[in-house]
Amino acid sequence: MAEQNLYPPSREFASRAHIQSLDEHRRLCDKARQQPEEFWQELAERELHWFERWTKVFEWNPPFAQWFTGGKLNASYNCLDRHLSGPRKDKPAIVWEGEPGEERIISYAELHRMVCRFANVLKGRGLKAGDRAVIYMPMVPEAAAAMLACARLGVTHSVVFGGFSAEALKARIEDMGAKTVITADGGWRRGKIVELKAAVDEALTELEVRDVIVLRRTGHPVPMQAGRDYWWHELEQSVDDGCPAEPLDSEHPLFVLYTSGTTGKPKGIVHATAGYLLQTTLTMKWVFDLRDEDVFWCTADIGWVTGHSYVVYGPLSAGATVVMYEGAPDFPQFDRWWSIVERRRVSIFYTSPTAIRALLKQGDRWPEAHDLSSLRLLGSVGEPINPAAWEWYYRVIGKGRCPIVDTWWQTETGAILISAMPGAVPLKPGSATLPLPGVEAEVVDLNGNPVPRGEKGFLVIRRPWPSMLRTILNDPRRYEEQYWSRVRDSYFTGDAARQDEDGYFWILGRVDDVINVSGHRLSTMEVESALVRHPAVAEAAVVGKPDEITGQAVCAFVTLKAGRADHDGLAAELRQWVAHEIGSFAKPAEIRFTEALPKTRSGKIMRRLLREIVTSHAVTGDVTTLEDLSVVNRLAAQHDEE
């Protein structure tokens, strides 16, 4: 890697950072490798509050790991109560802005009260440790409070992103076996109401739950079903302000979060309390270099893992002031985010490359109209960041003063695993740089042998880490197959990567049938299954197509049942259909009707060829097993005509 592409930390930044030099970084990595028990034990003692100490630091019965076994703690207590005995009591925990412009500043003491009251509501409805609840809410402080109230009681939550459709919500409620759904009448997005309650009603037409608790957010009328639906504010009228935090086992499942895998069925990723909380808290210091005076803004929705780990659990456990914004970045105009940074004096800003590219496209005048001098650190997550977006982020947003931490991780990893420690590690635009201490990442071939530096291979993690997923809900076999069987004794990430001569990691994208659209994970099979449920569709094959803004876009090849002619109206109908089956963010950018799909002689769709058609417009690889080569030639020709 050429010297001019290295961005070492400035002396000023390094001198105040938690980790100040590469030597310190190396010492931590060495200690984690040589004495893992001591290493993690010291951190668990320092970073978390425990009701009871653990008896064992970790137990590893591949593929199942347990951390801090025998210990008792509570995530909600760690995020709230422990801050109340000192100056953080009156510090803003959440600084919230609604899309229409309302603001709320909620101190740690106030958030604690909100959470206790709502925990008492849940208790009053009969919920207790071991039960499960689904949260389907807009980005309002009550969404974080609902998560923390569940955590307080030991109720395992599953937050479903508000952009998911009723169908997707239903599948998640069902898989969770949840008896309680927490939602709102709606939320604001681009000046319109997102009809969350209506989606819950639709999801529950063939599914029974005991309670639906509805927050009044927009105030527009929604039907309430007697005996099932309850207003949050009405249930809250008769509860106390205090609710003790339940001492829970370290391994108690804190939450389940659904994510896309290679098949059509999303996986319920299970996270355990202690290990998850430890690594999310720790990365607030290691990666975001958090100090008490910082104002931290992660723009992710709480429905994604980034929102769980870096809007709620990590920053609140670390005692940060968190900015939370309900709506779209471009509403009412393209400077909404920059205006929030200016007005709230945001010092650490964390977002996705897709958002950066979309805002970059609007030109510099939007950020330049605002005072962004409060920023001191920038972060990127969810997809590789291309050099042009990196440069713009660095120069125009960070004014060349703020390091950019490019953070690699996954729903499954719980917390950031590969990232610069910004006071210690020189940056290279486009590289997530180095694994954090305790993370044994490697690039290997399918036999598990490391590939030489500079060569592409599979990214694996060699040993368990505290915040790793524990299993897939209701499907431990799939957990073993997906993550621990591809490469011996290693966690298989599903990503390709290469390491350069300095050992820096460059993430090259997924090696499976997962595509990454705007940093959102989608399974090609999930979209295909949605398409073939439409009465006009015979077969569908979905691939990711490179997109200037969203990284990848959904491109669907569709064959129709006899008697259906392809027409523009049908393409629009199918896009809408996918929005209905999964959510708007999964809508194909392009639908291409074709007479047949390229298949192997055994009948498997050759997605690789379709990928080549949409990326390079030509087919170069081996096509000897193709059943009908003319199909490919026709598809490629069709592309050239467009």
Residues that bind ligand PRX (CB under 6 A): 259, 305-306, 381-384, 406-411, 432, 493-495, 507, 509-510, 516, 521
Select 313 or 577, whichever has its Cβ closest to ligand PRX. Answer: 313
- CB contact at 8 A, 355 and 311: no
In the complex with ligand PRX, the residue whose CB is nearer, 160 or 184, is: 160
The least CB distance from residue 321 to ligand PRX, in Å, is 22
Our CB check for ligand PRX shows the closer of 180 and 260 to be: 260
**Shortest spacing between CB 507 and ligand PRX, in angstroms:** 4
Q: Residue with CB nearest ligand PRX? A: 411
Q: How far is the CB of 359 from ligand PRX (least distance, A)?
A: 18
Q: How far is CA 445 from the centre of its chain?
A: 27
Nearer to ligand PRX, 48 or 515 (CB): 515
Shortest Å distance, C-beta 214 to ligand PRX? 28
Beta strands in 128-186 (DSSP E): 132-136, 156-159, 180-184
CA–CA distance, 424 with 606 (Å, rounded to integer): 45
Identify the bridge partners of residue 348 per DSSP, sorted by sequence position: 296, 377
Quick one: 429 or 598, whose CB is closer to ligand PRX?
429
Residue 205 has, within 13 A of its CA and on its CB side, a CA count of 6
The alpha-helical segments, DSSP class H, found in 371-428 are 387-392
Q: How far is the CB of 263 from ligand PRX (least distance, A)?
A: 16
How far apart CA 70 and CA 44 sit, in angstroms, is 13
Nearer to ligand PRX, 251 or 495 (CB): 495
Rounded to whole angstroms, how far apart are CA atoms 214 and 184? Answer: 5
DSSP 436: P
Q: Cβ distance 453 to 500 under 8 Å?
A: yes
Closest CB to ligand PRX among residues 230, 310:
310
Distance of CA 128 to the CA centre of its chain: 27
Q: Environment class of residue 123 by beta-carbon count within 10 Å: exposed (0-12), middle (13-18) or buried (19+)?
A: middle
- Label residue 311 exposed, middle or buried (CB < 10 Å: 0-12, 13-18, 19+): buried
The least CB distance from residue 261 to ligand PRX, in Å, is 10
In the bound state with ligand PRX, the residue whose beta carbon lies nearer, of 287 and 591, is 287
Q: How far is the CB of 485 from ligand PRX (least distance, A)?
A: 18
How are beta strands 180-184 and 192-194 bridged, if at all? unpaired
Q: Which is nearer to ligand PRX, 408 or 577 (CB)?
A: 408
How far is it, in rounded angstroms, from Cα 482 to Cα 474? 14
- In the complex, what is the shortest distance from the CB of residue 30 to ligand PRX, in angstroms, rounded to a whole number? 25
In angstroms, what is the minimal distance from the CB of 405 to ligand PRX? 9
Q: Is 292 exposed, middle or buried (0-12, 13-18, 19+ CB in 10 A)?
A: exposed
Supply the minimum distance, in Å, between the C-beta of residue 165 and ligand PRX. Answer: 18
Q: Name 296's bridge partners.
A: 322, 348
- In this structure, are residues 50 and 456 in contact, taking their beta carbons and an 8 Å threshold? no
Residue 370: alpha-carbon gap to chain centroid: 29
Q: Which is nearer to ligand PRX, 495 or 528 (CB)?
A: 495
